[in-house]
Amino acid sequence: MKVIITGASGMIGGIVLDHCINSDKIDEVVSIGRRKINQEHSKLTQIVRADFLNYDDISDHFINVDGVYYCQGVYTGAVSNEMFETITVNYVETFIN
């Protein structure tokens, strides 16, 4: 089984990542995030990127995916209202399309 996790450097994403890496049912984990996480594992492929409104350059990682854990987000008040909407709405819409 292959899964993608976004936001694995965050609190919830990190917990999801640990569960996926430790699961005997999951063979491959692709982490897509804003920064590298401090974890290495034979199952883990890390993709660090700044552009979350276009995934064309990494589309090969979306082939044969069995599950997705979308954990990317931002705290209310941490960024402007416009950026908050971009991260919590536009990034998600782009990812699922």
Which residue type occupies 82?
E
H/E element holding 82?
Answer: helix 81-85
pLDDT at residue number 97: 86
pLDDT tens per residue across span 74-92: 998 999 999 999 999 999 9
DSSP code, position 47: E
Q: How many CA atoms lie within 13 A of 86 on its CB side?
A: 11
Answer whether 62's CB lies under 8 Å from 30's CB. Answer: no
Which CATH number, 3.30.70.260, 3.40.225.10, 3.40.50.720, 3.20.20.70, labels domain 2-96?
3.40.50.720
Domain ranges of the chain: 2-96
Put simply, whether the predicted model's pTM sits higher than 0.95 gets the answer no
Mean pLDDT of the chain, nearest integer: 95
50-60 pLDDT tens trace:
999 999 999 99
Q: What is the pLDDT of residues 9-33, one digit of tens each?
A: 999 999 999 999 999 999 999 999 9
